[in-house]
Amino acid sequence: MPELPEVETIVHGLKKELLNKQIVEVWHDWPRVFQFSEGGCKEFKKHVLGLTILKIERLGKYIVISLGKRFPQSRLLIHLKMTGRILIGTWKVEGGRWKSLAAMSSQDNSLRYVHSALIFADGTAMLFSDIRKFGRMILVEEANFERHERIRTLGVDPLQPVDVDSIAQQLQNRSIAIKQVLLDQSVVSGIGNIYGDEILFKAGIHPLTKASDLTFKDITEILKAAKRVLQKAIRLGGSSMRDYRDAEGKKGTYFEHRLVYKREGLACIRCKNSTVERVIIHGRSSHYCPNCQKRGV
DNA sequence: TGCAGTGTTGCTTC
DNA sequence: CGAAGCAACACTGC
């Protein structure tokens, strides 16, 4: 479930552990995790060996790792999709399976789902565990980074100062539900199903409201709510329902502090006398209070 | 037992 | 271009 707060938390942990490490080996048992321009894992490996981790940051839901000798030569984009996890520690691979030697913390059965790994000169490794195998590691040459499809089409980061006029303009000709638009990474990047519901609850906007029906004030409220909700979630280390763990293997506690998500049938925490309802929007469960969240127009 | 549902995104089609 | 539907994959719970 890694959304912006989870990825931010992971990146924070990775910075503490991985900076200045040199990649000396690449391992995988599922070639499709690697992408490098037109090539696959062979080309990926060739380009990455010997490079050092110079910088780690978050762009939307991507972990972005700058690699080079002295200056950045390429960037590694990691998307965790639904069930991806990054494990850091000391391990050995035995019969195609990774075994813990001195992991930063116990990673229990997630070791079973490791499908790729970067091994560093100091003997430590970064493992990429992913039950559903939707996650990807995409290598992009530095010169092509800004115009790479995945990066070029990324919407604004909700934690950065946002130009409300430009967002309002984009929503003008969108007839779909605001909930669906919030999940569109090309409008605003980093929000997923959980925080989409949380943000709309906080803003008092019904998730089925058509984006084009929102007033300028509504949009301002939503963006303000987004900052608050996401910042709080980062403070709490993200949400852990099932799979999510940070780089140190720790869960986040936002889920226990959630406002509406997965609270169907329970009393609304704001008005207390309505019951949280659930509706499917574009195939995704959406939770809201029918009393506190009014539909626009 | 079998099947719907699950946190995400990209591709195809209209 | 916008929008809908489905595919990628594995597991859980009813």
The C-alpha atoms of residue A275 and residue A291 are separated, in whole angstroms, by: 9
CB contact at 8 A, A247 and A88: yes
CA(A252)–C1'(B8) in Å?
20
pLDDT at A296: 62
Paired tokens of A36: 């490098």
Chain B: nucleotides below 7 Å from protein CB are 5-10
- Distance between terminal CA atoms of chain A? 33
| Per-residue pLDDT of chain A in tens (297 residues, 90 and over written 9) | 799 999 999 999 999 999 999 999 999 999 899 988 777 788 899 999 999 999 999 999 999 999 999 999 999 999 999 999 999 999 899 888 898 887 555 566 889 999 999 999 999 999 999 999 999 999 999 999 999 989 999 999 999 999 999 999 999 989 999 999 999 999 999 999 999 999 999 999 999 999 999 999 999 999 999 999 999 999 999 887 767 788 888 888 999 999 999 999 999 999 999 999 999 999 999 999 999 998 865
- pLDDT tens string A104-122: 555 668 899 999 999 999 9
Check: CB of residue A264 under 8 Å from CB of residue A276: yes
Is the C-beta of residue A83 closer than 7 Å to nucleic acid chain B?
A: yes
Query: What global pTM score does this model have?
Result: 0.95
Residues 6+ apart with CB under 8 A from A143: none
Subset of residues 74-113 in chain A with CB less than 7 angstroms from any atom in strand C = 81
CB A197 within 8 A of CB A204: no
Q: Which of residues 204-243 of A touch strand C (CB under 7 A)?
A: none
pLDDT of residue A66: 98
DSSP character string of A26-93: EEES-GGGEEETTB-HHHHHHHHTT-EEEEEEEETTEEEEEEESSSEEEEEEEE-TTTEEEEEE-EEE
- Give per-residue pLDDT as tens, A58-96: 999 999 999 999 999 999 999 999 999 999 999 899 888
Question: How far is residue A13's CA from residue A161's CA, in Å, rounded to a whole number?
Answer: 25
Burial class of residue A148, CB neighbours in 10 A (0-12, 13-18, 19+) = middle
**Beta carbon of A60 within 7 Å of strand B?**
yes
For A85, residues 6+ apart whose C-beta sits below 8 A from its C-beta are A110, A113, A128, A129, A130, A243, A244, A245
List the structure tokens of A13: 């942990």
A293 touches strand C (CB under 7 A): no
The answer to whether the beta carbon of residue A51 comes closer than 7 angstroms to any atom of strand B is no
